[in-house]
Chains A and B, each alone.
Chain A
């Protein structure tokens, strides 16, 4: 059984570590495009960055379905999340409350995830996009709530057409998915309210 393989530990101090991580994620989404360290001293399973693993450990539980790329789902990452979060893993991205993709992977499209409903726009997918670095890539200008004028980020590794997808996601506001761009122990928040490439 998957649970009999060696599964690394989760938080050693669940209350304070998860609250610290939650605060960092909150700040990341409140101030889109600012870098926040999400650290819970967690050794992530293979395939997940530390920030990704810590964010899921903080946010996911048995009521939140998680979508992972098949290789991660069937590997150590899937077993680790199942064990620590008691979360069920789904194969349909449209059912996921949380999802993880590698920035460079060609699919699934951002539109494949759940963008919420008019009645409950909050019930959309929160997608963690794992980048090869949080700087050094194509520069993108962000505007919108939580950004005084504009902010420039340049995460490395997104697939071709990624920013057009993010812009289309913003067009559907108040529906749409919320994004966290992660690398190593840090994230950028990119909520659905953030506009791409516009400058006042």
Chain B
């Protein structure tokens, strides 16, 4: 039972002052601006947008500043703000095939139509500190390992020296194709890939922010829950799948990062309006499937899509998406990552943090009740033990 506690107002106001002081830190150090966070801590902002389930880089940066960099607290701020906004409607489904690609890699095909584009990635960096970043002066880029980037496939055209390879001037390069096929669709053309088509009538998706979730949950519900779910939780579950708690060790069919336009049809206009671009990360995971008596052996998919540049999130989501499809393929749901109720009820870090952290708030009355109960039980026990020696009637309540 919850019993309200009153008082402590002055102390609470004082803690607000103290938190402002702690947030600011040493005033001898210049204050960080929201624009600096947005531009220089973009990957953090992406995580806050995903878990706050609201695409707005400025707000994500503000949330991070206000929360002293606490990502879950920042996501909470985004969620709280979102509830104050009216919703105008739903966008047309975004078309990731028309993404303006900044990065696109495949672990399954070396020679990919449209090409492998490394883009900005930490994949090929040494995890060594760049102490130059500690200086205020403009620092050197954490670049490619020159021993790798120097080895281009076409030595006749590619520059040989490491230095040249690092600064290949962009004006010498043709822009990328505006339409790049998704890798699973290449396998799909051969019939080797589980097809991915909209259900009859292309229904509006379920929205777990508007309607209560019931189980078993359909794929649209699962994908929405994971898109706003905690990256760490999904990463752990995805890892468990790979390690044998879910029986999949898939390939990355493709990861792509870039900008897609968001289109919306206002009821009063009746035609699609292009609202601008958002950055998305998409991951297509290719998994084995032995087939069943109805279906020939084929590859199956796991899908991840997330706001901003957030590959780890999109990859984890696609691993767990495939694990959660076990029911559709008649596989046994033996492991946590395969159980939709477990995954969906525990992936939301704002809910999880709320329930875990509420434990530190006053429970004085509950605890008094427990304390009284345990004292009474102990007293009764002592009386009973004494009574076994002195044949007295047992104290009964």
Is there any pair of Cβ atoms, one from A and one from B, under 8 angstroms apart in the complex? yes
The residues of A with any CB-CB pair to B shorter than 8 Å are 1, 3, 61-63, 82-83, 86-88
Shortest distance between the CB of A116 and any CB in chain B (Å)? 14
Contact B270 A87 (CB under 8 A): no
Given known A-B contacts A62-B87, A62-B88, A62-B89, A86 and B270 have beta carbons under 8 A apart: no
Shortest distance between the CB of A26 and any CB in chain B (Å)? 19
Given contacts A63-B87, A87-B267, 7 further A-B contacts (CB under 8 A): A61-B86, A61-B87, A62-B88, A62-B267, A82-B268, A86-B88, A86-B266
**Hey, which chain A residues are within 8 Å of B89, CB to CB?**
62, 86
Complex interface residues of chain B between 262 and 279 (CB less than 8 A to chain A): 266-270
For A62, the closest partner residue in chain B by CB is: B89
**Hey, which chain A residues are within 8 Å of B266, CB to CB?**
86
Among A1, A86, A88, the one with the most B-chain Cβ atoms within 10 Å of its Cβ is A86
The main secondary structure of chain B at its interface with chain A is loop
**Hey, which chain B residues are within 8 Å of A3, CB to CB?**
268-270
Q: How many A-B residue pairs have CB under 8 A?
A: 22
For B266, the closest partner residue in chain A by CB is: A86
CA distance A62 to B267 in the complex (A): 8
CA distance A88 to B269 in the complex (A): 12
User: Mind listing 5 A-B residue pairs with CB under 8 Å?
Assistant: A62-B87, A62-B88, A63-B87, A63-B210, A86-B89
Shortest distance between the CB of B240 and any CB in chain A (Å)? 34
For A119, the closest partner residue in chain B by CB is: B214
**Hey, which chain B residues are within 8 Å of A63, CB to CB?**
87, 210
Shortest distance between the CB of A7 and any CB in chain B (Å)? 9
Contact B267 A1 (CB under 8 A): no
CA distance A115 to B242 in the complex (A): 48
**Hey, which chain B residues are within 8 Å of A61, CB to CB?**
86-87
Shortest distance between the CB of B140 and any CB in chain A (Å)? 51
Shortest distance between the CB of B217 and any CB in chain A (Å)? 16
**Hey, which chain B residues are within 8 Å of A87, CB to CB?**
267
Shortest distance between the CB of A75 and any CB in chain B (Å)? 16
Shortest distance between the CB of B100 and any CB in chain A (Å)? 29
CA distance A82 to B87 in the complex (A): 15
For B86, the closest partner residue in chain A by CB is: A61
CA distance A61 to B90 in the complex (A): 12
For A80, the closest partner residue in chain B by CB is: B268
CA distance A88 to B88 in the complex (A): 12
Shortest distance between the CB of A43 and any CB in chain B (Å)? 18
**Hey, which chain B residues are within 8 Å of A86, CB to CB?**
88-89, 266-268
CA distance A157 to B270 in the complex (A): 37
CA distance A71 to B189 in the complex (A): 51
CA distance A86 to B268 in the complex (A): 6
Shortest distance between the CB of A183 and any CB in chain B (Å)? 28
Given known A-B contacts A61-B86, A62-B87, A62-B89, A88 and B267 have beta carbons under 8 A apart: yes
